[in-house]
Amino acid sequence: MFDHKDMQNTMENNSELSKALTSETPKSKLKKICWSVTLFLILNPVISVAMLLLYFVFSSSYTFNHILYVSLFGLVFALLTNLSITMGYHRLYSHKSFEAHPLLEFALLFISAGAFQGSALKWASDHRVHHKYEDTDKDPYSIKRGFWYAHIGWMMLHEAVSLPIQAQDLEKNKLVKFQHTHYLACAIAVGYLMPLFIGWLLGNAFLGLVIAGGLRIFLTQQSTFFVNSLSHMVGKTPYSVEKTAKDSLFVAFLTHGEGYHNFHHKFQIDYRNGIRWYHWDPTKWTIQIAALMGLAKKLRTVQFSEILRAKLEVESLKFKNSFFYKEKLEPLYVKIIEAQARFEKLKNEYSATSNKKLNELTELKTEIELKKIEIQSMMKSWRVLIKMAAQIRVQQKI
């Protein structure tokens, strides 16, 4: 769902930004631009596409198998690159939503260097500032300044590139510090030289450099950039209407599960973005697999009672000033939250009572099942009451 109100606000802010820029002299505008970043973001895809087209037209040194094998490698490398950013830079380093084994950390930092999105230290530091000051003037990539600014424009300015590091915990991490100190060398080696070498092994070094190097970098960058732009404009707000971040399955497909962004901004410590098992969140599944392999531990989650509380509050928000809410919805809301909290407590007791007698475990299991049925019944009643409240609201407007 596209939020037209957000679109209108974004257009207004774009207009204000344009007015502010037009009031400046051309020289002052140029001074604000970080040319090294800007030129790379523009020239990398342009040169890659141009070189590929010229090669296909004027060269006869490639075969169909060369294109196929290099493209398949490029696709796999792109998927791993995206995962290294979403799993490593974002959920591990920015939010510390789980702990990783040094081997996993090394792999994530090694692959992510080839994304050309800056070091993990800088990326995570900027992202923490984004969450701390979200949707304000201090937010480095606030959507309030427009879609294109949040998507890519902010990186082209010195004010963003020169943001000070605010992540003392990460500065103490030797692997993170090493990648940060030697970032440019790591990025070139992983981003361009490794695809060149693997392309050579597959029979065509040039295609490896262009397809698995330049084009992969461009496409994976856009996937990450969509989290800052599209995820704040397209979708629904089931957990918080105060935040511009939105949940969208479409964006989740584009960003390895980062599209459940309203949930993430409400509960940022949770290692999941899609909380249901069927929610498209490859990053979540990869973290779970890593945990099974002993490469990840202490996966942080938010209690479902808190998630449910936020969801019910949003669903009933538009009815809060009504008599129907006070009489019907509010009492049921309290009962549901209490029942869910009790259900979670019982499950924890059951998981931690291996030394209890069989009859005691059976009683606990029975109580858990009964509480589950009670919650399901109350949720059905909730949905009915929400529909009734909506109908009453419409009738009162007529």
Q: Which of 216, 228, 234, 223 is nearest to 283 (CA)?
A: 223
H helices then E strands: how many in the chain?
A: 21, 2
Task: Please list the residues that pair with 182 across neighbouring strands.
Answer: none
| Amino acid at position 164, single letter | P
Q: What token pair was written down for 364?
A: 């606990």
Whole-prediction pTM: 0.88
Q: Longest Cα pair distance anywhere in the chain, in angstroms?
A: 81
How far, in Å, CA of 189 to CA of 306, rounded?
45
The stretches in the chain having pLDDT less than 50 are 2, 16-17, 20-21
pLDDT digits 0-9 by tens, 95-107 = 999 999 999 999 9
Long-range own/partner contacts, residues 191-195 (CB < 8 A, 24 or more apart): 191/113, 191/114, 191/115, 191/116, 191/217, 194/114, 195/73, 195/74, 195/77
Q: How high is the pLDDT of residue 27?
A: 75
Q: What number of residues does the chain have?
A: 398
Contact, 135 vs 261, CB < 8 A? no
133-143 per-position pLDDT tens digit: 999 999 999 99
Token digits of residue 322: 């009504």
DSSP for 12-38 reads HHHHHHHHHHHTS-HHHHHHHB-HHHH
Run of H or E including 321: none
d(CA 132, CA 155): 19
| Nearest by Cα to 37 from 121, 155, 189 | 155
State the CB neighbour count (10 A cutoff) for residue 231. 28
